[in-house]
Amino acid sequence: MTVPPTEHATAQPGAVPPPGCPAHIGDGPGGATRLYGPAAATDPMGLYEELRAAHGPVAPVLLDGDVRAWLVLGYLENRDVASRPTQFSRDPRVWHGWRSGEIDPATSPLVPMIGWRPDCVCADGEEHQRLRGAVTAGLSQFDHRGVRRLITRFAHQLIDTFCESGEAELVERFTEHLPMLTLIHLLGMSDESAPELVRAARDLFKATETSLASNAYVLECLERLVVEKRADPGHDIASALMAHPAGLTDEEVQHHLRLILLAGYETTANLMSNVMRMVVTDPRFRGSLAGGQMTLPEAVEQVLWDEPPLMVCPGRWANGDTTLGGQQIKAGDMLLLGLAAGNVDQAIRPDADTPVHHNRAHLSFSAGTHECPGQDIGRIIADAGIDILLTRLPDIALAIPEEDLSWRSSTWARHLTALPVTFAPRPPQADDVPAPLPAPPARSDGRPAASPASATDPGTAARPERRASWLTRVLRFLRRK
What DSSP line would sit under 118-157, residue for residue?
SSGGG--HHHHHHHHHHHHHHHHTS-HHHHHHHHHHHHHH
Q: How many CB atoms neighbour CB 27 within 10 A? A: 15
Predicted model pTM: 0.83
pLDDT in tens, 317-346: 999 999 999 999 999 999 999 999 999 999
Q: What are phi and psi of 288, to 5 degrees?
A: -65, -40
Comparing C-alpha atoms, which of 258, 238, 272, 259 is closest to residue 372? 259
In this prediction, residue 408 carries a pLDDT of: 87
Measured CA to CA, the distance from residue 30 to residue 34 in angstroms comes to 11
Note the pLDDT of residue 98.
95
Would you say residue 67 has pLDDT above 80?
A: yes
Distance of CA 388 to the CA centre of its chain: 22
The confidence band for 174, taking pLDDT boundaries of 50, 70 and 90, is very high
End-to-end CA distance of the chain: 50
3 state DSSP class of 18: coil
CA quadruple 92, 98, 99, 102: dihedral, nearest 10: 140
Share of the chain above pLDDT 70, in %: 81
Strands 312-318 and 88-89: antiparallel
Using the CB atoms, write b or e for 75-95: b if 16+ within 10 Å: bebbbbbbeebeebbbbbebb
At 404, the pLDDT band (50, 70, 90 cuts) reads very high
